[in-house]
Structure 1
Amino acid sequence: MASPIFIPKRTALGQHVLLELSQCPPGLLSDTGRLEEAMQEAAERMGATIVSSHFHKFSPYGASGVVIIQESHLTLHTWPEHGYAAVDIFTCGDIDLGTGANFLAKALQAGQWEWAAHDRGPS
């Protein structure tokens, strides 16, 4: 298992976190209801204000979704056949990105994960 995700406070206009989640259960990565619940809970745990969300299941497998937050957005794309999910969290607000990222790694039952945080816009 990978180590916990620690994301420093943003110093620029925005901060963009990329999560690479692997070794996730394929059934979970195809369940848009559970994925939407997990993404919304991650937003709430970060202290974000949810505006709306939309998730779509692809045939024969895979899903994509977005949770629009007042502070920006969270997006998710899954490849169940590879046990892989890509998550982006972007914010221009003072919310706790590390809490959301760690929650999603656990909620999607990732056996391994990698992450990167990038400042966006002027400092």
Structure 2
Amino acid sequence: MSDYRPSAHGLLDLYGCPADILRDAVALEQALRQAAHNAQATILSAHFHTFGGHGGVTGVVLLAESHITIHTWAEHGFAAVDVFLCGSLQPQIAAQSIQAALSAQTAQWREYPRGENLFQAA
């Protein structure tokens, strides 16, 4: 039998973030890397893309334990973040770190268990 444990998948909506942060791919990558570190996740790689002008950024930090992604709409002060961590890691720790780094005025956090029924007896 595997040592699989259910995972937690969190969705974080951040409102009222400064546009300059939401356009800065370097700052966003640093924020997501720090969030992964705070959650004790193992970073494998990262890739970020800036849309230019007044647009935002999309990015992913690939983890041994899954991923953290972000999509920003700088013109609206909005960021959508996806935090998927396996095993005993806690995505809310990463979410709190990202919320602080992006100076969000308000946030909405939703967390969903993943794989709970994987090994249930038939």
Query: Which aligned pairs between 1:27-46 and structure 2 lie closer than 5 A?
Result: 27-46=20-39
In the alignment, the residues of structure 2 paired with residue 95 and residue 104 of structure 1 have an alpha-carbon distance, to the nearest angstrom, of 16
Find the partner of 1:17 among 10, 13, 23.
10
Q: What does residue 5 of structure 1 align with? A: none
Residue of structure 2 aligned with 1:80, choices 67, 74, 77: 74
State how far apart, in whole Å, the 2-side matches of 1:114 and 1:107 are.
Answer: 15
Structure 1 segments of 4+ aligned residues over 6 angstroms from their partners: none
* 1:41-120 to 2 correspondences below 5 Å: 41-60=34-53, 61-120=55-114
Q: Once superposed, what is the RMSD of the aligned Cα atoms? A: 1.1
1:73 Cα deviation from its structure 2 partner? 0.3
Deviations 1:36-95 (A, max 9, x none): 000000000000000000000003311000000100000000000000000000012221
Out of 11, 22, 26, the position equivalent to 2:19 is: 26
Gaps of 5+ in 2: 118-122
The 2-side partners of 1:118 and 1:40 are apart by: 22
What number of residue pairs does the alignment pair up?
A: 112
- Per-residue deviation at 1:35? 0.2
Higher Cα Rg: structure 1 or 2?
2
Work out whether residues 10 and 92 of structure 2, in 8 Å CA contact, stay in contact via their aligned partners in 1.
Answer: no
Residues 96 and 14 from structure 1, CA distance in 2 versus in 1: closer, same or farther, beyond 3 angstroms? Answer: closer
Task: Provide the identity percentage.
Answer: 44
Alignment partners' CA distance in 1, 2:52 and 2:36: 27
- Equivalent residue of 1:122, what SS? coil
The one-letter code sitting in structure 1 at the alignment partner of 2:84 is F
Shift of 1:32: 0.2
